C-alpha cells in the first residue's frame, strides 16, 4: 500500500486515531481468510484480532480468568490497517453526571 505524503485526509485520520486512544495493530492482509486470527499484546493486554465467518474483522480482549469469555474491543479498519481502542470509558454506557459545587463565598 502506498499513500502519497501530501494526502491531507490520511494525515487527518491518522492524527485523530492517535489522539483518541486508537492503536495500530497490523495490516488487514495479516488475516486474509475467514477464521484467521492474530494475537498481539497491546499495553500489557492480550488482544485477539479475528476475521469472522461474515468477513468482518473483530477484536477481543482476552481475560485472564480461567472461564472468562473474551470481551469485544472496538475495532476499525482504515486504509487497510487495523486499529483497536482499549479505552475502558469508550466501552461503557455512561449516564449524565451530576456535579455538586460549593460557591467560594459560602
More confident residue, 104 or 36: 36
| 79-94 confidence digits (pLDDT tens) | 888 998 877 654 444 4
- 77 beta partners: 82
Grid cell 480461567 is found at: 66
Reply yes or no on whether the pLDDT at 101 is more than 70: no
Q: What is the mean pLDDT of the chain?
A: 76
Q: Can you give the pLDDT at residue 72?
A: 85
pTM reported for the whole predicted model: 0.61
| 15-65 confidence digits (pLDDT tens) | 665 566 788 889 999 999 998 999 988 777 788 999 988 888 999 888 766
The answer to whether residues 49 and 85 touch, using CB atoms and an 8 Å cutoff, is no
| 66-78 confidence digits (pLDDT tens) | 666 778 888 888 8
Q: Can you give the pLDDT at residue 94?
A: 44
Amino acid at each position: 500500500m502506498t499513500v502519497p505524503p501530501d494526502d491531507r485526509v490520511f494525515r487527518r485520520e491518522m492524527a485523530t486515531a492517535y489522539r483518541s486512544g486508537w492503536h495500530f495493530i497490523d495490516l488487514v492482509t495479516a488475516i486474509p481468510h475467514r477464521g484467521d486470527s492474530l494475537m498481539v499484546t497491546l499495553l500489557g493486554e492480550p488482544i485477539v484480532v479475528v476475521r469472522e465467518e461474515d468477513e468482518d474483522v473483530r477484536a477481543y480482549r482476552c481475560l485472564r480468568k480461567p472461564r472468562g469469555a473474551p470481551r469485544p474491543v472496538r475495532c476499525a479498519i482504515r486504509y487497510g490497517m487495523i486499529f483497536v481502542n482499549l479505552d475502558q470509558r469508550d466501552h461503557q454506557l455512561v449516564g449524565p453526571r451530576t456535579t455538586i459545587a460549593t460557591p467560594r463565598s459560602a
